[in-house]
Chain A
Amino acid sequence: MNQFTDKRIDHKDLAVEAHGLVKVFGDNRAVDGVDLNVRAGSIYGVLGPNGAGKTTTIRMLATLLKADAGSAKIFGYDVAKDPQIVRQLIGVTGQYASVDESLSATENLVIFSRLLGLSRAESKRKAKELLEEFGLTEAAKRPLKHFSGGMRRRLDLAASLIAQPPLIFLDEPTTGLDPRTRNQMWDTIRRLVKEGSTVLLTTQYLQEADELADRIAVIDHGRVVAEGTVNDLKESVGTSSLHLSIQNEQSLSNARLIVERVLNVQSAVTAEGGKITAPMADADRVTDLLITLREAGIKLEELSVQKPTLDEVFLSITGQNAASHTPVKKEELA
């Protein structure tokens, strides 16, 4: 058997290196030229709304899907040319639990361990160890049909860790989890990285990316629209956003001008309530804003500060609404 040492890896500290990845389904360009560089030992967040191309990108990087164009390397190994080597370096936890529904938790882990080359005894030990670690021991023998969403996710992640892969893909690891389970998942992810793994995760939640990721790529319509550290992103969005309701509708445009001038940002007006929203990069300036508004004789009805939503990230980065293709969110006019 061929053995490979690091002589092939020139970009040694890059766990993921993707250039111009494209995937077309019919006439839908699901992924349309995605570039990603993920440093080994970091947590990288891919942030985007439903249908932005996050899952498709991960599936291509994890050798589950062939790219129509572009290339990707995992620790220097090309996913198209050396898929079998890449598979030895990754763990994949899909958006929909990739475990066997009809079997028990132990049986699942034993089978995956056996497939990864562990002996029968080792597999049993490994399964027990992982179940303990993920707090699933009590449910070890029950069929998965009776598992809660959180338990399934944990088992899924446990299954990805059997071979202790240096790179772990997590596709929306906390979607649908309650806050407590979500925090447990976050702790686990942080611990993985402390032990030397690299984690690439996708999420719809800015807060999650903020909590975990060292760097973030914002992806929309199959393209990376922004990339940088969490701080870069925050600077462009503001840590929170300011919501102002004006008593007199007539002074709305005037108030908006003042907001944009004093805070030095772009603002938006919500369609239904006549509410001005603006990113709040610097809380101190709000004092100036309030004083200026009073001097201009504009009376406020309500004032609130909200954590930025994905919508606002998109608003400030693309000048476009993320909600334009995810009709669930409330409409905002830019």
Chain B
Amino acid sequence: MSSTTIKAPHERKLRRKTSFRESVRNSLTMAYRGLLKIKRTPEQLFDVTLQPIIFTLMFTYIFGGAISGNVQNYLPVIIPGILVQTVITTSIVTGVQLREDMDKGVFDRFKSLPIARIAPLAGALLADTIRYTIATVLTFSMGYVMGLRPEGGLGAVVVAGLLVIVCSWAMSWIFAFFGVISRTASSVQGISMLVLFPLTFLSNAFVPAETMPKLLQWFVKINPISHLVTAVRELTNSGTVGWDFTISLIGAAVIVAIFAPITVRAYMRRA
């Protein structure tokens, strides 16, 4: 810069819109930023490392005998359930951290740069898939240590893990939306828990739906979380891909299609 002079505006190539390729590139750069932040403050990974270990131990030994007769028989039921519950709960943190991050001055700079508007959000959400991956790997590992031997084989387990990560990423757009519209990080936590708690527990994640009252059964059957849990169970326990797998992916796509645009719009409005 010391030797060059600055180009006049009319000599510059100015573009009115960012292309799709640039949007992806910008988002990946923002994801890189997110990863650097995780590297700098590894203590923020506490929840994703401890929660899978503690929850898996707790739920398996508390419910195992009562629901499936013994722990060994319960593992194929509970591990997919706990996996979905843990990873999706983790995605709340995305919204909370986004809120905290947005309050910092650096977001002003992101807004003043000629980058895709979606990039700061998509990047943050993308970087958080590392959290989901850690939670997924730990949950399956805990299951293995406790004696789970998935019939579907390693390949199916990997596919199941990926499915959960993709769906959690989609869900994180909902919490990102709460993150953008709420004023404090703690209120994001509150609202998100309120949504997620009934959603994860009123599903087939921990107990078979047949034991529940009729009305509850009806809800459990339409609950998207149930479909995701079933899809993961089918993959890990028999290596099959069924209708629930497709429904989960469609659900994820619908959530992103709805929440990504309104989140970006809310983000733009909150200057």
**Which chain A residues have a beta carbon within 8 Å of chain B's beta carbons?**
1-6, 9, 12, 40, 59, 62-66, 75-77, 82, 84-85, 87-92, 94, 96-103, 107, 111-112, 114-117, 129-130, 133, 143, 159, 161, 164-166, 195-197
Report how far A103 CA is from B25 CA in the complex, Å.
Answer: 20
Which of A2, A90, A164 is close to B15, meaning CB atoms less than 8 Å apart? A2
Chosen A-B contacts, 22 in total, with CB atoms closer than 8 Å, are: A1-B17, A2-B15, A4-B16, A6-B10, A64-B112, A84-B15, A96-B105, A98-B107, A98-B109, A98-B112, A100-B33, A102-B40, A103-B40, A111-B33, A111-B36, A115-B29, A133-B2, A159-B109, A166-B9, A196-B5, A196-B6, A196-B7
Residues on A with C-beta less than 8 A from B40 are 102-103, 143
Which of A4, A88, A100, A130 is close to B114, meaning CB atoms less than 8 Å apart? A88
Residues on B with C-beta less than 8 A from A98 are 105-109, 112
Q: A96-B105, A159-B109 are in contact. List 18 more A-B contacts (CB 8 A).
A: A1-B17, A4-B14, A64-B108, A75-B9, A76-B9, A82-B16, A84-B18, A92-B109, A98-B106, A100-B33, A100-B37, A101-B106, A111-B33, A116-B113, A129-B1, A164-B1, A166-B6, A197-B6
Contact A166 B7 (CB under 8 A): yes
Contact B13 A3 (CB under 8 A): yes
Residues on B with C-beta less than 8 A from A117 are 22, 25
Q: Is the interface of A mostly helix, strand, loop or mixed?
A: loop
Q: Whole-angstrom distance from the CB of B256 to the nearest CB of chain A?
A: 23
Report how far A269 CA is from B209 CA in the complex, Å.
Answer: 85
Which of B1, B30, B105, B119 is close to A99, meaning CB atoms less than 8 Å apart? B105
Q: Nearest residue in A to B41 (C-beta to C-beta)? A: A102
Residues on A with C-beta less than 8 A from B112 are 62-64, 87, 90-92, 98
Given contacts A112-B113, A115-B119, contact A88 B15 (CB under 8 A): yes
Report how far A3 CA is from B16 CA in the complex, Å.
Answer: 8
Residues on A with C-beta less than 8 A from B114 are 84-85, 87-88, 116
Contact A1 B105 (CB under 8 A): no
Query: Does B26 reach chain A (CB closer than 8 Å)?
Result: yes
